[in-house]
Chains A and B, each alone.
Chain A
C-alpha cells in the first residue's frame, strides 16, 4: 500500500490565485481530513469527511473548500490564495471515528506571495 499520498510537495502561489491540493489513500478508509501546520505550531483541522459525499468544517475552514466524490480522494481547494495561507498542509485518513489511528501524508508546503 502507498498509504496516504499528497501532491504537489511544494507550491508557490501569488495572492488571489486558486489551486487544488490533492490527497489520496489506498487503505479504503472512510475518514479523511486536512490539517495545516504553521511554523512552530501544532496541527489545526481545516475540513474533514466521514465518507464519500459527506464533509464538514474543522477549526479553521475559511478560505478552503473540499469535496469527497470517492472514498480514495479528498482534494482541498484554495479559492483565492492569501499570504495567511502560507503553511504546510497534511492530509490524514483513518478507518473509523475519533479513537481510530490516523495515517498522515507527507505534506504539501505552500508559499503564497
Chain B
C-alpha cells in the first residue's frame, strides 16, 4: 500500500467535530483513499472511501485536497462511542496487501 502518515493520537470533546488528517503524498491518480476504524477488541470497520471528490455518508465526511496528497476524515458530532483507532489506507498492490499501520488513536471526552 502507498505510505500514509497520521498523527499518533488526537482528542475531541463529545458533540464537537473530530477532524483526522492523513498525508498520502505518493498516491497515484487511480488510487482510492480508504478509512477504517477499530474500536477496542472489535474487528476493523469500514468508514468511507474516496478518489478525488469529497464524500459523505451516514458515518463521516472525507475531504481530499485538490492535489490528492492529503485527506481529512470528519466525524461531525463525535460521541464517546467514536473512541477508536482510525486507519487511513491507500491500497496499491494486489489483493492481500491491505496494510494497517499504527493509525490515529482518537479519544472522545465527555
A residues in contact (CB < 8 Å) with B: 4, 31, 33, 42-43, 45, 48, 50, 56, 58, 88, 90, 92, 97-99, 101-107
In the complex, chain A residues whose CB is within 8 Å of the CB of B92: 98
Q: Tell which of A50, A58, A101, A106 has the most Cβ of chain B within 10 Å.
A: A101
User: Could you list 8 further interchain pairs (A-B, Cβ under 8 angstroms) beyond the known A31-B95, A107-B41?
Assistant: A42-B87, A50-B95, A90-B44, A97-B94, A98-B96, A101-B46, A101-B49, A102-B98
Nearest chain B CB to A70 CB, angstrom units = 19
How far apart sit A45 and B99, CA to CA, in the bound complex (Å)?
Answer: 8
**What are 24 residue pairs bridging A and B, where the CB atoms are less than 8 Å apart in the complex?**
A33-B98, A42-B99, A42-B102, A42-B103, A43-B44, A45-B97, A48-B96, A56-B96, A88-B41, A92-B44, A97-B94, A98-B92, A98-B93, A98-B95, A98-B97, A99-B31, A99-B91, A101-B34, A102-B46, A102-B98, A104-B45, A106-B42, A107-B42, A107-B43
Q: Do A43 and B100 have beta carbons less than 8 Å apart?
A: yes
* 0 or 1 for each of B68-110: is its CB under 8 Å from A? (1 = yes): 0000000000000000000100011111111111110000000
Nearest chain A CB to B26 CB, angstrom units = 16
Q: How many residues of B contact A (CB 8 A)?
A: 25
Q: Do B44 and A99 have beta carbons less than 8 Å apart?
A: no
Nearest chain B CB to A95 CB, angstrom units = 12
Q: Do A106 and B43 have beta carbons less than 8 Å apart?
A: yes
